[in-house]
Amino acid sequence: MFVQKGLLIVLSGPSGVGKGTVCSQLRKEQSDLVYSVSATTRPPRVGEVNGVNYFFKTREEFEQMIKNNELLEWAEYVGNYYGTPRKFVEDTIQQGKDIILEIEVQGALKVKQTYPEGIFIFLMPPSLAELKNRIIHRGTESDESLIKRMNAAKEELQMMKHYDYAVVNDEVNKAVKRIQSIIEAERLRKERILPYYEQWLKEEL
């Protein structure tokens, strides 16, 4: 019996679009989906737990991980590092389990360079005005930081052309259903299944 490799699903989009909320709801509804915890140097927000939401690192610790090639990707965004530990992702895929990465746009494009067969989903806001309101309501940004994030969001929206799918996050439950449809369709692509059938045809009955 052949174990089909798991899917690498990359979910990203501009800051404030609701990646964390959508990913959390998706994982509740799809318990077989493994979540890849990212590492970051940004301070924890209220309610965030080390090792669950992120691995919170100092800049020195993160830079050592870069030197040791322990990250599948990493990027510096608005003054902080973000990155994906490599070994856990690779081991999960080889075990036939699907894994989702919830990462920034810069990091997603780096993953695509090294793992182009991944499924890249861009989460969009209904509008820029709505995106700005969501960031303001988080209550974590200064006026200067808000301007930086909105400017970064405009640049990130232009990167949508590098993704396989674009999903609007107008309502969380609707966005989750759209992503589930994408995952199911990708599991059934003939390109993923054909190699296993070709092996079966070589076997003697």
Helix (H, G, I), strand (E, B) or coil at 57: coil
DSSP-assigned letter for residue 146: H
Task: Give CA–CA dist 119/128, Å, rounded.
Answer: 25
- pLDDT surpassing 80 at residue 32: yes
Q: Quote the pLDDT of residue 172.
A: 95
Radius of gyration, CA atoms only, the chain: 18
* Residue 132 and residue 17 in contact, taking contact as beta carbons nearer than 8 Å: no
Say if residue 189 is exposed, middle or buried (CB neighbours under 10 Å; 0-12, 13-18, 19+): exposed
Q: Which two tokens stand for residue 29?
A: 């509804």
Say if residue 50 is exposed, middle or buried (CB neighbours under 10 Å; 0-12, 13-18, 19+): exposed
* Residue 39 and residue 144 in contact, taking contact as beta carbons nearer than 8 Å: no
* Residue 123 and residue 17 in contact, taking contact as beta carbons nearer than 8 Å: yes
Q: Quote the pLDDT of residue 200.
A: 79
- pLDDT surpassing 60 at residue 2: no
The percentage of residues in the chain with a pLDDT greater than 90, rounded to a whole number, is 53
Q: pLDDT digit string (tens) for 13-22? A: 988 888 999 9
Runs of H (alpha helix) within 19-171: 19-29, 59-67, 86-94, 105-114, 128-138, 143-157
CATH 3.90.180.10 fits 8-36+98-202, yes or no: no
Q: Would you place residue 33 in the very low, low, confident or very high pLDDT band (cuts 50, 70, 90)?
A: very high
Task: Give CA–CA dist 6/97, Å, rounded.
Answer: 4
Question: What integer is the mean pLDDT of 62-83?
Answer: 92
CB-side exposure of 43: number of CA atoms within 13 Å? 4
